[in-house]
Amino acid sequence: MLEQKILGIKTEALEKIRSVKDDAGLFEFEKMYLGRKSEFTGILKGLKDLSPEDRKKIGELANAVKREISEASEAKRRELKNAGFDLESERIDVTIPGKTNGYGHLHILSIVQREIEDIFTAMGFEIADGPEVEREFYNFDALNVAKDHPARDMQDTFWLKPEIQNPKSKTQNKSEHILLRTHTSPVQVRYMEKNKPPFRIIVPGRAFRNEATDATHEHTLHQFEALVVGDSVNVGNFKHIAETFFTKFFGKKLEIRLRPSYFPFVEPGFEFDISCTVCGGRGCPSCKHIGWLEVGGAGMVNQNVFVSAGYKRNAYQGFAWGFGLERLAMMKYKIDDIRLIESGDLRFIRQF
Amino acid sequence: MKYSYNWLTELSGTKLSPEKLRNLLMLRSFEVEGLEKTGQGLEGVVIGKILEIAKHPNADKLQLTKVDVGNAVLDIVCGAKNIEVGQKVPVAMVGAKLPNGIEIKAAEIRGEKSSGMLCAKDELGLGEDHAGIFILDKDAKIGMALAKFLELDDVILDIDILPNRAHDCLGYVGVAYEITAIENRGFDYDYSGLKLPKVKSKKLKVEVADKELCPRYIGAVMENIEVKESPQWMQAKLSASGIRPINNIVDATNFVMLELGQPMHAFDFEKVSGMKSKIPNYKSQINPKSQIQTCNIIVRRAKEGEEIKLLDDEVKKLDKDNLVIANNKEVLAIAGVMGGLNSGVNPETQTIILESASFNAVSVRKTRVGLGLKTDASDRFEKDIDPNLAEKAMVRAVEIIEHIAGGKLEGIADIYPKKVKPWKIKLDLEYANKLLGENIPFKRSIQILKSLGMDISGKDGKLTVGIPTYRVDIKTQEDLIEEIGRIFGYENIKSQPMVAPLVPAKVNKERFFERNVKNTLAGLGFDEVYNYSFYGQKDANDCALGEIKHLELANPMNPGQQLMRVSLIPNILKNVRDNLRNFKSFNIFESGRVYWPDGEILPEERKMVVMAVVLEHDKSAETFFAAKGAASDLSDKLGIKNVYFDNFDAAPSDSLLGLWHPGRSAEIKVEGMDGKIGYIGEINPLILPLFKINRRVAMVELDLEKSMEAADVELKFEAIRKYPTVLRDISILVGREITVGGIIKNIKKSGAGLVVGVELFDVFCKEEKNSFAFHIELGAIDHTLESSEIDAVMAKIISGLEKELGAEIRK
């Protein structure tokens, strides 16, 4: 009996709420169905007179209905409120540029260097460093480039004044020059003096060549050197690591081509090319229709270099390779003038 | 060096096309930098024989000729005077387009038909000679294409010979040897069989005073020479290789140099002997008894200040480090570099002394660098040449000169005290395969070495290899392995993954930290620049760094790049100047090394980071505070705690001080750490105009290593406050000398642990005083503050400010 009454109130209320049109109507509605003097409240008040079983049963029902009516009332309140809000009047032009906080740009060489470092460190290479102002010994003698050897002509050197007197010098000549390193290779010997194989390292860093600058030549360059030494590291291993690296770096499958070359610190020595990153080797203007791009130099570490570093001759074998970051960056981003790189020009820097 | 394809095929017998040859050489031997066809523009020029010459009826200076070109006889009008009936001449046929652009058409010249043109050398692009029609050799075949006859239908390969192969491959024979080895064949010519005839010269006496610098000297006297133009085939070979033909003697020496890589020189015998000396009282070297005119050649070091006039007319002053060829009286040539003008061969020369010698490479290099010379001879000598090559070259030269200059060998003088013999190297072919990473059959490796002229003994891959003396570069086992590898073909070596311990890389902490700095600065809106590591003295002076001892380059590109930077700031100021042309405001930074010449052997290299801020408007030091804000953000992100900014303790030792605005700069310090981690400030406004900068520029300079040290603290969690804090405002008047930093410090000190934060929110100046207003946030960690506690703390703070800073509290 009571149950039906409750359900009846519910049906009536839910029917009624649909016709509420304004706040006054809603006030009336709430007063009628939820107010202190409403029939429904009266029922709830009377629950205490019922038997415990009925009280539980009816109570649950009454509370559920009350909740349902309150929710319907709340929903109506929101509906009335939202209807009064003129969203259209707030329309804005969303094509007006946003307000930015601005952010800075890393230099292109930093970006390229990181990409390279990340690939190599993922392969377990350690990053090694060495001085940019270097002793003649580490830059040349220890790398098997003898004094007065024409190979020293291959790399035009910035020398510093004056010559230093170094009684501890390992060269026959006790007076030794200091210079701006012409490559990152001196770090090979410096690292090997302190570490025993097996190891694999990379050496990113600044190097200097005393040559006039033009669109493709810069006297200040950034090199990248890798050195892997162990018991049986071989030419095939070099090819594999080079392929893996360049494929990852350029994001496409590339091949490596080795050509004979001469660097005193390696034997055998190579020049290495990668298949053209644009045409994949078929030939196009980027690779001058050769299908290959010249990237850098490499080779199997000359045993004399191991000896300079204090290893026993023929105890180890390994490979070393190096290339220029500028060249790689220019290849990747199609930059046509190397001088932009150290120009400090924000019109250039902000493009990357 | 430029190599004629025709000559290379002649020596090597290769059947490969020039393009294929280039590709193969690239992969196996040397880079080929260019491939150029010659004889272009000579299509349609053939050899003709002049049958008749008649006067042109209507023009005095012209002649009518009938010329046999094989398949026809042509009427050609010609203006040159040097033609005669029976001569063979180049005929440009109708339709030919000559190298100088002239197109040959059938024409009528003053009423006479002319169907073709007889050509002078310049018209054929063969030189500047326009003296007359180019008269060809008598045996030239009528109707033959001129380019073919002159051997001009050639392809020139520009091969970049590596410095370690200069001693054998700056000669055609060396490259031809490479080609036959690559093609896996033997080399056909027996150059090693060339031995000097055992005829001792009666006229020439050679004395080598410095055997260290001249391991071998061969002189040969040739008589009855007729100096003239050399034959066409030789001129063609020289021209193709980039050497200008001069006369048959000089050409012969150059030819041998090209062929074998051994530079040679020819002296005029009589000039060397002194017979023709113009110097009075010079005693000629005639042996009174035999009446034989003799000649002395002395190889010695030059005397200090001795002079020589070179072939190119230039006079050079020599010193004792220069090796020279001299007679009893004067210097005749700079050994291995260039001959003297006075002793050279000229058209009157009848007797010559041929020189084929071997000089110390380092000495030649030093001499030519010192004298600023570079010749084909020095290019070869400075890279070490096999002394045995001198003999082969001499035999070839004598043979050729006898053939083309009608000379006869009188005799030879050969000074060769320490003979160089083939040496032996032990080679383990298993090691070769282990280093190359490929299983090359031993048989193949042995074959390769043999094809390169090596002498092999031993078995089971344990070899003893005899090295021919012309392979000066092969000294170790690895040198031989390279020969095997490259001839086998590096592309035939399979790529293979490396076997190595799977260990994580050791982290380079400094690089990691630097990366963090760069990321943060980019996030804060700073663009990264890279600058050169040097600047000029003027830049240093302009930045008040002029007094600082810099590391200095001995050979800078230019004076503006002579000093190694001790600060990144000068070059960044240039960046600011340049970018102000395009931008009104910007933030830039650089991370790089500076070089202080105070290390033991090497300078001390410090890694620095400099940030620069440039704003469009600056009314009340906004630029400075923008930089300071960025510095605070950076140190916060890096985990550098307790950073504070302190006025300079202007120690005179601090040499970088002049750079900064004395009233707008500070040292950046960290509590608990000695010294500073950097500077912050505006650049001294007296410096900026020197860089043409008309804005304020604020910079932060951080020492990366010290910053890293400061950031190296473990982070510890601090409990989040559970009890509310309250804000109290305070407004004070203080003297001009009192700083905000000092006030905040004072408030915190008086607040005894209850001051959570102090924030400056208002500043204004009133006569001689400054007025500041602060929000002070108060709270305790373990309870909510009672209002009595708050009042007590505020009273303490106020009394501290009044007593210690003389502050006046504004109500």
Instruction: Report the residue from B490, B531, B571 with minimal CB separation from A270.
Output: B490
- How many helices and strands, by DSSP H and E, does chain B display? 21, 38
Rounded to an integer, what distance in angstroms lies between the CA atom of residue B761 and that of residue B776? Answer: 10
pLDDT-based confidence at B38, cuts 50/70/90? Answer: confident
Q: Which residue has the higher pLDDT, A346 or A54?
A: A346
Q: Name all domains of chain B by residue range, CATH numbers in brackets.
A: 2-38+154-189 (3.30.56.10), 45-149 (2.40.50.140), 204-415 (3.50.40.10), 423-491 (3.30.56.10), 509-711 (3.30.930.10), 726-810 (3.30.70.380)
What is the residue-averaged pLDDT of chain A? 89
Q: How confident is the model at residue B407 (pLDDT cuts 50, 70, 90)?
A: confident
pLDDT at B713 over 90: no
User: What type of residue is B339?
Assistant: G
For chain B positions 476-495, those within 8 Å of chain A (CB to CB) are 476, 478-479, 481-482, 485-486, 490-491, 493-495
pLDDT at position A151: 58
pLDDT at res. B651: 54
Whole-number pLDDT of residue A155: 61
Predicted pLDDT at A153: 61
Which pLDDT band, with edges at 50, 70 and 90, does B658 fall under? confident
Alpha helices in B644-786 (DSSP H): 704-711, 740-751
| B492: CB partners within 8 A, 6+ apart | B438
Which residue among A104, A235, A261 sits closest to B493, beta carbon to beta carbon?
Answer: A235
Q: What length does chain A have?
A: 352
Which of A235, A335, A351 best probes binding to B when mutated, by most B CB atoms within 10 angstroms? A235
- pLDDT for the residue numbered B655: 57
The residue-averaged pLDDT of A308-319 equals 96
Omega cis (within 30) before A198: yes
Say yes or no to pLDDT of B278 above 70.
no
- What are the DSSP calls for B235-295, one per residue? HHHHHHTT-----HHHHHHHHHHHHHS--EEEEEHHHHHTTT--STTPPP-B-TTT--B-E
Question: Which has the minimum average pLDDT: B12-16, B40-44, B265-269, B648-652?
Answer: B648-652
**Nearest alpha-carbon partner for B162 in A295, A305, A292, A151:** A151
Query: B630 falls in which pLDDT band (50, 70, 90)?
Result: very high
Give the residues across from A266 on adjacent strands. Answer: A301
Indicate the range of A138-142, A208-212, B437-441, B766-770 predicted with least confidence. B766-770
> How would you write B411-451 as a 3-class SS string?
EEEEECCCCCCCEEEEEEHHHHHHHHCCCCCHHHHHHHHHH
Range ranked top by mean pLDDT from B281-295, B497-511, B635-649: B497-511
pLDDT at res. A121: 94
CA torsion sign for A324, A105, A348, B536 is: negative
Provide the Cα torsion A18, A21, A27, A31; round to 10°. Answer: -30
Residue B160: name the closest of A293, A261, A155, A272 by CA: A261
What pTM does this model have? 0.83
Enumerate the residues of chain A whose CB falls inside 8 A of the CB of residue B572. 344
> In Å, how far are B33, B363, B469, B472 from B383, measured between CA atoms?
21, 11, 14, 9
Handedness of CA B298, B300, B304, B306 (dihedral sign): positive
Identify the band that residue A174 occupies on the pLDDT scale cut at 50, 70 and 90.
low
Beta bridge partners of residue A206, listed in sequence order: A222
Does A121 touch chain B if contact means CB atoms closer than 8 Å? Answer: yes
Instruction: Give me the percent of chain B exceeding a pLDDT of 90.
Output: 66
Give the burial class of B74: count Cβ atoms within 10 A of its Cβ; 0-12 exposed, 13-18 middle, 19 or more buried. Answer: buried
Q: What tens digit of pLDDT does each residue of A255-269 get?
A: 889 999 999 999 999
Amino acid at B348: E
pLDDT at B650: 57
* Mean pLDDT for the stretch of residues A156-184: 73
Q: Does A317 score more than 60 pLDDT? A: yes
- pLDDT class for B276, splitting at 50, 70, 90? very low
The model's pLDDT over A231-249, given as tens digits with 9 standing for 90+, comes to 999 999 999 999 999 999 9
The CB density around residue B288, as the number of other CB atoms within 10 Å, is: 5
Residue B320's pLDDT band, with cuts at 50, 70 and 90, is: very high
Cα distances from B736 to residues A81, B618, B646, B661, B739, in angstroms, run 58, 22, 17, 19, 8
* A268 backbone dihedrals φ, ψ, rounded to 5°: -65, 155
Q: Kindly provide the residue ranges of all beta strands, DSSP E only, lying in B534-659, ordered along the sequence.
A: 534-535, 552-553, 563-564, 586-596, 604-614, 643-646
CB nearest to B162's CB, from A200, A261, A303: A261
Give the pLDDT of residue B281. Answer: 43
Query: Higher confidence at residue A301 or residue A277?
Result: A301
Over range B147-176, report the average pLDDT.
90
Distance from CA of A249 to the nearest CA of B (A): 18
- Region B745-758: mean pLDDT is 91
CA–CA gap between residue B158 and residue B35 (Å, rounded): 6
User: Which residues in chain B have Cβ-Cβ distances shorter than 8 Å to A180?
Assistant: 533, 553
DSSP letters for A161-223: ESPEE-TT-SSS-SEE-EEE-SSSTHHHHHHHHH--SSEEEEEEEEEE-----BTTB-SEEEE
pLDDT of residue B476: 95
Cβ neighbours of B605 in A, within 8 Å: 131-133
In total, the C-beta contacts within 8 angstroms joining chain A to chain B are 227
Per-residue pLDDT, averaged over B526-555, amounts to: 94
B525–A159 CB contact, under 8 Å: no
CA distances from A180 to A186, A220, A238 (A): 11, 10, 28
Query: What confidence score (pLDDT) does residue B279 get?
Result: 42
DSSP code for A159: B
Handedness of CA A237, A241, A246, A248 (dihedral sign): positive
pLDDT surpassing 90 at residue B112: no
Chain A residues with CB under 8 Å of B478 CB are: 267-268, 300, 302-303
Average pLDDT over residues B140-163: 88
Query: In this structure, what are the phi and psi dihedrals at residue B262, rounded to the nearest 5 degrees?
Result: -100, 110
Tell me if A252 sits within 8 A of A274, measured CB to CB.
no
> Given an 8 Å threshold on Cβ–Cβ distance, is B527 in contact with A135?
no
Cβ neighbours for A87, distance < 8 A, ≥ 6 positions apart: none
pLDDT surpassing 80 at residue A168: no
Rounded Cα gap, residues A202 and A205, in angstroms: 10
Query: What pLDDT score was predicted for residue B277?
Result: 42
* DSSP track, B62-84: -EEEEEE-SS-EEEEEE--S---
Q: 3-state class of B173 per DSSP?
A: helix
pLDDT score of B411? 94
Q: Of B797, B795, B796, B778, whose CA–CA distance to B786 is shortest?
A: B778
Q: Per-residue pLDDT tens for B201-252? A: 999 999 999 999 999 999 999 999 999 999 888 998 998 999 999 999 999 9
Range list of H helices, A91-182: 108-122, 136-139, 151-154
Per-residue pLDDT for B722 more than 60?
Answer: yes
Question: Which stretch of B78-92, B117-131, B135-149, B685-699 has the lowest confidence by average pLDDT?
Answer: B117-131
Select from B601, B609, B611, B615 the residue whose CB has the most chain A CBs within 10 Å, as the one to mutate to test that interface: B601
Residue B477 φ/ψ region, left for φ over 0, alpha for ψ in the -120 to 50 degree band, beta for the rest: alpha
Look up residue B769 and give its two tokens: 């005083």
**N-terminal to C-terminal alpha carbon distance within chain A:** 79
Residues 133-162 of A with CB under 8 A from B: 133-135, 148, 150-151, 153-154, 158-162
Is residue B80 scored above 80 in pLDDT?
yes
B-contacting residues of A 311-330, CB under 8 Å?
Answer: 314, 317
